[in-house]
Amino acid sequence: MYCSQLPDHVGAVDATATWHLPAHDTSAGVARRHVRSFVRGRQCAAPAEDCTLIASELVANAIHHGAGPVWLTLRHLVHDDGSEALQLLVGDHGTGRGPITPVRDPAGGALRTSGRGLTIVDALSTAWGSTRIADGHVVWATVRLESRPDARGRATRHRRGLARRA
């Protein structure tokens, strides 16, 4: 689901990390490594491959369509209802092109070599969107995290060092 503004969330940000990346083709690979490391380090139940693919696509788009340098921020969110999400924000110093949408290619476009990135982001994320900010443009995606069974088979979410709000 696309939204033209930054998402609000109810709850707490458990962890945040930001990386600044040069506007270079290798930055998408660097972003994938950062996302994998963040997901492993937080031990959250994020679908790591989905998140790395989303980050890669958003960083590649920022490099191709925006103005560098590019930044990637990851947020591990814990909502008041106990659910969790991983939020990926990719920004650049370009002006953006207004609302963006995935390319819908009714003919299939089997021979195309680009243009599928936002369709992938749309398919893998819970919600995503873009907005202009004071000094650039941000595209974000949120991925809902899965709960994991505890030793007794009950669904639980793993948190390290998170102080629960009352």
Neighbours of 147 (CB within 10 A): 14
What does the alpha-carbon distance between residue 159 and residue 95 come to, in Å, rounded to a whole number?
37
Q: Which residues contact 55 (CB under 8 A, 6 or more apart)?
A: 28, 31, 32, 34, 35, 72, 88, 90
The predicted model scores a pTM of 0.74
- Reported confidence tier of residue 131, pLDDT bands at 50, 70, 90: confident
Domain residue spans in the chain?
2-8+11-147
CATH topology of domain 2-8+11-147: Heat Shock Protein 90 (3.30.565)
pLDDT recorded at residue 114? 55
Which tens digit of pLDDT belongs to each residue from 54-71?
999 999 999 988 888 999
Which tens digit of pLDDT belongs to each residue from 2-38?
555 556 555 677 788 999 999 998 999 999 999 999 9
Report the run of H or E that residue 34 belongs to, with start and end. Answer: helix 27-42
Whole-number average pLDDT of the chain: 76
Is 103 a residue whose pLDDT tops 60? no
